[in-house]
Amino acid sequence: MQDLWIVSDSPTRAAAIRRQLDGIFALHVVELGRMADTEPPPLLLCDVDFTNGSQVASLKTWLRRKPKDGKVVFAVDKASHLQAIQAKALGAVGVLHRPLDRKALVKTLLGDLAALSDDNPGDPIKTSPGVGQAFDALRTVFEAACFGTRLDPAAINQGGEAVMRRMEAQGLGSWLDTVRKHHSQTYQHCLIVTGVTVGFAQHLGLSRPDQLRLAFGAMLHDIGKARIPIEILEKPSAPTAEEMAVLRKHPEYGLEALESSPGLSAELLDLVVHHHEYLDGSGYPHGLNGAEIPDPVRIMTICDIFGALIERRAYKPPLAADVAYQMLRDMGDKLDKDLVREFGFVKTLRLNVAA
């Protein structure tokens, strides 16, 4: 989980904050009297008494040492405009009113997840057969992860079945031309990977139950990204090394997010936490190799890489399907060569360059 540090002069309020955010962040408390002995962390929530001048002065001095990209959020009394001004003067990127609301806290700390999906009923992404149902299912996945609630397996399965029907009726090319229009890099990628995974499963002749399990896993594979700040996820330029280090934590964040939804299969959890593992041991987060990586994960890894290569990003153009496929082949022993060979069906895709 992403670390969140809490500075509070009230044990009661600090405990209430912990209850609100438990399971979403790894929570720590900074004691006011020992601030000078620690460095300000990257993500900080302050809930202190602004009428205590010496306390506020000490906090101000301490916050001057916070990381360049550090984020500080303050809790203030709703009736006090002065406290909000003081919080801004101390470098607050967000101000929340007491009593703190769970959703408002997460939105302020991580960004507005709802903004990634929009609610425009006329959006072609949402009205397109199969895509709309998958999009709705994907939104429930990210909301569950963001707020630490249980998944709705029935909704996810309905989305998966809709993808399967769409793929059978119109093929993978039509799916990709539609979903690559989505404005969110995060949702676009998940929809692409879901379609590619189902298309590959159908090409391999897998049974419908197996196709549905892979579709379910594809919609969940990046669930951990719901716990990464949106300014990193949706950044219009290539991520820095520090941001990439945060992004690489999403498989583990995904596994942690699924702890609130007991009863999920070990195969599904494997897809979420290990879809960036390579057969030669060079992947992450656990450096698995060879026989440690089961076939469904091998399939998901291929589909995930291909999806990333053909998707649209603000800082890079999408690759043509045949070029992306050749890059998979060039990865050699990192990927299952037999599966990569079968994945060659994508070479014939002629994607709409304007999509």
**pLDDT classification of 119: cutoffs 50, 70, 90:** low
Confidence (pLDDT) at 276: 98
Locate 138 and state its tokens: 């994907």
* φ, ψ of residue 95 in degrees (nearest 5): -125, 125
Q: What percent of the chain has pLDDT over 90?
A: 56
Rounded-to-integer distance, Cα 336 and Cα 155, Å: 32
Topology annotation, domain 2-110: Rossmann fold (3.40.50)
Mean pLDDT is lowest, of 92-106, 235-249, 286-300, 333-347, for 92-106
Give the per-residue pLDDT at 156. Answer: 95
How high is the pLDDT of residue 309?
96
Whether 74 and 46 have beta carbons less than 8 Å apart is answered as yes
SS3 content of the chain, % helix, strand, coil (to 5): 60, 10, 30
What contacts 295, CB < 8 A, 6 or more positions away? 336, 339
* Residues 139/94, Cβ–Cβ less than 8 Å: no
Q: What is the 3-state secondary structure (H, E, C) of 298-331?
A: HHHHHHHHHHHHHCCECCECCCCHHHHHHHHHHC
Alpha helices in 53-152 (DSSP H): 53-63, 81-89, 102-110, 114-117, 124-127, 131-147
pLDDT interval class at 316 (50, 70, 90): confident
Please write the tens of the pLDDT for every residue from 167-176: 999 999 999 9
Reply yes or no on whether the pLDDT at 33 is more than 80: no
Polymer length of the chain: 355
Q: What is the pLDDT of residues 183-239, one digit of tens each?
A: 788 999 999 999 999 999 999 999 999 999 999 999 999 999 999 988 899 998 999
- Are 119 and 166 spatial neighbours (Cβ–Cβ below 8 Å)? no
Tokens 């290569």 locate to 309
Q: Where are the domains of the chain?
A: 2-110, 114-348
| φ, ψ for residue 98, nearest 5 deg | -80, 145
Instruction: Supply the pTM of this predicted model.
Output: 0.87
185: Cβ contacts below 8 Å, ≥ 6 apart: 233, 234, 311, 312, 313, 314
CA dihedral for 151, 153, 159, 163, sign (positive or negative): positive
State the amino acid at position 237 in one-letter form: S
How many angstroms separate the CA atoms of 110 and 354, rounded? 32
Mean pLDDT, the chain, whole residue set: 90
Has residue 123 got a pLDDT over 80? no
CATH 1.10.3210.10 fits 114-348, yes or no: yes
Predicted local distance difference test score (pLDDT) of residue 105: 86
**Residue 36: strand pairing partners:** none
Specify the pLDDT at position 336. 98
Query: Contact 28/5 with Cβ under 8 angstroms?
Result: yes
In contact, 45 and 7? CB cutoff 8 Å: yes
Banded model confidence at residue 337, pLDDT cuts 50, 70, 90: very high
Give me 196's structure tokens: 């590619």
Q: In whole angstroms, what is the distance from residue 44 CA to residue 30 CA?
A: 9
Backbone φ/ψ region at 353: left (φ over 0), alpha (ψ -120 to 50), beta:
alpha
Tokens 């195969």 locate to 267
Q: 2-8 and 94-98: which strand pairing?
A: unpaired
Query: Beta-carbon neighbour count of residue 106 at 10 Å?
Result: 21
